[in-house]
Amino acid sequence: MSETHFGFATVPLDEKQRRVDDVFRTVARRYDLMNDLMSGGLHRAWKDALVTAIDPPKNDRPFELLDVAGGTGDVAFRVVAAGGGGTRATVVDVNEDMLAVGRERAAERGLDHAAAFVAGNAEALPAADRSYDAYSIAFGIRNVPRIETALAEAFRVVKIGGRFACLEFSSVDVPGLDALYELYSFNLIPALGRAVVGDAEPYRYLVESIRRFPKPEAFAAMLRAAGFRRVSYRRMSGGIVTLHSGWRL
């Protein structure tokens, strides 16, 4: 049986998916609040950069975004707001609790017509070949058991001329800041999780999973192997986060 890592533990691949589902089921209702607290609000600027990279048209030209692992709708709503009348977003997430939050928020904002929420797995997307103008995933790719499979699926569903855009936590590259970030991540973030959602373990896992994720150049190589071209990445906030990009040409 193939194995992968769940935090620092080695587990069977299928077991990782179950554990990831449990993590996000636990935190669904307060996921965006925790993002604010953990990042000091910086996640908003990071997501603004992601939306700029996606660059939805400002006119009524049809534009379809597939946002993966974005169950609460945060990225999807931002892209719809940035685009014109033809911009639509489909959110795919494996976790029904996260999707329920997204659907509620879409209804509250009157965006039911522009944002759809679908249960599905990044490794087997419920989408036709070459059906989307852009694919986005924010802080979700490191939780996928088979990253190469997910990237192959991303390439499959993006149209020729379409873009892949990914935000993911990375390794801090500023001397001195790296030690502070390590201290903050392994001590304060789990404590925040305990205080806000009543459980430190999901956030301990999230921190540990960051350490396991490939470095930016290694992930860029994985994008190229999946078929994407003009692959690039941009470190932000001292390397805490990296914005990855690629095109299907």
What pLDDT does residue 117 have? 97
Query: 195 in a domain, yes or no?
Result: no
For residue range 106-121, list pLDDT tens digits in order: 999 999 999 999 999 9
Closest CA to 118 of 137, 90, 138, 150: 90
Instruction: Return the residue matching tokens 């946002």.
Output: 67
Q: How far apart are CA 170 and CA 139, in angstroms?
A: 10
Does residue 194 belong to any structural domain of this protein?
A: no
Summarize pLDDT for 191-238 with one digit per residue, the tens: 666 666 666 666 676 677 777 889 999 999 999 999 999 999 999 988
Instruction: Tell me the per-residue pLDDT of 33-88, one tens digit each, with 9 for 90 and over.
Output: 656 656 666 788 999 999 999 999 999 999 999 999 998 899 999 999 999 999 99
Enclosing domain of residue 172: 3-181+209-247
Alpha carbon dihedral 59, 74, 109, 105, in 10-degree steps, equals 150
Residue 189 counted as domain residue: no
Domain count for the chain, please give it.
1
Residue 40 lies in a domain: yes
How many Å apart are CA 196 and CA 34, to the nearest integer? 8
pLDDT tens-digit series, residues 178-187? 556 665 565 6
Q: Please indicate, yes or no, if residue 55 is contained in any of the structural domains.
A: yes
Residue 156: inside a domain, yes or no?
A: yes
Residues listed for the chain: 249
The DSSP string of 110-139 is: T-TTTEEEEE-BTTB-SS-TT-EEEEEEES
Q: Residue 20: pLDDT above 60? A: no
Q: 22-43: per-residue pLDDT in tens? A: 555 655 565 666 566 566 667 8
Q: How confident is the model at residue 8 (pLDDT cuts 50, 70, 90)?
A: very low
CATH label of the domain that carries residue 158 = 3.40.50.150
Residue 147's CB is within 10 A of a number of other CB atoms, namely 19
Q: Is 135 contained in some domain?
A: yes
Q: Are 65 and 91 in contact (CB under 8 A)?
A: no
* 68 in a structural domain: yes
Residue 97's pLDDT is what? Answer: 87
Query: Within 10 A of 103 (CB to CB), how many other CB atoms are there?
Result: 18
Distance, CA of 205 to CA of 211 (rounded, Å):
10
Cβ pair 222, 154 in contact under 8 A:
no
